[in-house]
Structure 1
Amino acid sequence: MMRGRVAYAGAIHEAYPHDAGRVRLADGRVREEHEVVWLAPFEPGTIFALGLNYAEHAKELQFNKQEEPLVFLKGPGSVIGHRGYTRRPADVTFMHYECELAVVIGRQAQNVKREDAMQYVAGYTIANDYAIRDYLENYYRPNLRVKNRDGGTVLGPWFVDGADIADVNALDLRTLVNGELRQHGNTRDLVTGIAELIEYLSGFMTLAPGDVILTGTPEGVVNVNAGDEVICEIDGLGRLVNTIASDADFGRATPTE
């Protein structure tokens, strides 16, 4: 089942796909997508983000694979929903999207073996996890300004139950910028797979329901500018729409970083 969360008429509602461009609220009302405010489709817990977890993307950025996954944490303030706006600071030269499969943990996981790991997955959603390369210190230690920005992680529009995805290891990912296909990959090319990631993370910390693992992005990242519409698609999970906005749009004519 696909389900999301939206704000409408002063309340938060569970929402479901209806037909092209419209959603059905849990109370039966049908509304146009643009009439509601989209939230993340669930309340995220700890967000684990994987860096350079597709071999071709790592090669694209001239990164050599490390023995352990490159993982960093993101705060809840970084998350916005479908059709949201992400700020592009005026002083940067290279800001790019990252279409990613987001794995949502369904129950407490501690010291999980990879052969049992998928039992701990509640479901999946799409993530677009923006990065600003100008602020990057190095690929081994992504700093806060690169990856933990307000509104820089877009989740949604739908949460899809894990049982509804036949093979999570064979999902196509696509990113379109202003309607042009710019990024294409498949989850079969993950360097460290989902089960291995759950084994790795739960081996030294406890994962909780609602925790999210952003599994990395394929090659094909390009700079985006204010006004660009970015759409991330993953087979079986829908399409996540997001727009890049300027400092002026956010009331920050002079950026303070």
Structure 2
Amino acid sequence: MKINSVKLITSVFLILTSLFLFAQKSFQGKAYYQTKTTVDMSNFGGGKLSEERKKQIADRMKNALEKVYILTFNQSESLYKEEAGLETPGQGGGGMRFGMMNATGGNQYKNVKAQQLIQEQEFFGKQFLINDSLRKLDWEMGAETKMIGKYMCFKATAVKKVEGFDFSSFRRRPNDEKPQDSTNTENKVVEKEEAPREIMVTAWYTPQIPVNQGPDVYWGLPGLILEVSADRTTILCSKIILNPSEKDVFKVPSKGKEVTQKEYDIIVKKKTEEMREMFRNRGGRGGGRRR
């Protein structure tokens, strides 16, 4: 596929014009992103929940998963954090599970020059500070374009391994997928280690803002990423402010027990397995103690 000549000339002109702005050492920008995540409720709760109950859970998930984030960035650094707002009341007993699904966590700092990622993450009431190198995606850049606001964006795709907590695996029940081993004298379910799930990531970036930053963990393209779709989650930029009159200081996250991404993933996996076992046992007692 080839870009037609008019579109190519227009793109080159916009990029060259933008370079004058971004050549300033004091350059800074802000991008506002809205996240949306859909959840497959068809087999939620092992298929035993009523449609009314599924709708109630879906509505609560929507409130937990649809948020606004602000990415403050310059040529080499960025800080991604949730926009301050009122807390959603009535989390109740389900709040624990909804909190586990929040993959973004706390404030996240990326330094593409130093190849560093630092993120505050709360998990089951404990505060962690993930300090690790940036994870690279093998982007395949295409020629397809579209406008997001006033910015011309180009499409890029990549395959990403799902790391850490994977909510889809937490929903599975042992009866659905784990056969018993007749050689197991203790008559326990034998669970095999599963390979990480892979998802397709589609990003739209604009060379008009020539920084290789983006929302959440996404980066590494020759322009600011304005939209990302990964699995069931879409992150879309709704507003951009370039060179605001009041510059922000990049405050690197520092709260929590420092761990690498791998160490944090092990902690999450262990706790997730404990929770899954608890739900299995509760199911075996006919629904547990809930009244």
What TM-score results when the alignment is normalised by the length of structure 2?
A: 0.24
Bigger RCO of structures 1 and 2 (CA < 8 A, at least 6 apart): 1
Determine which structure has the larger helix proportion and give its number: 2
What TM-score results when the alignment is normalised by the length of structure 1?
A: 0.26
Which of structures 1 and 2 has the bigger CA Rg?
2
Determine which structure has the larger strand proportion and give its number: 1
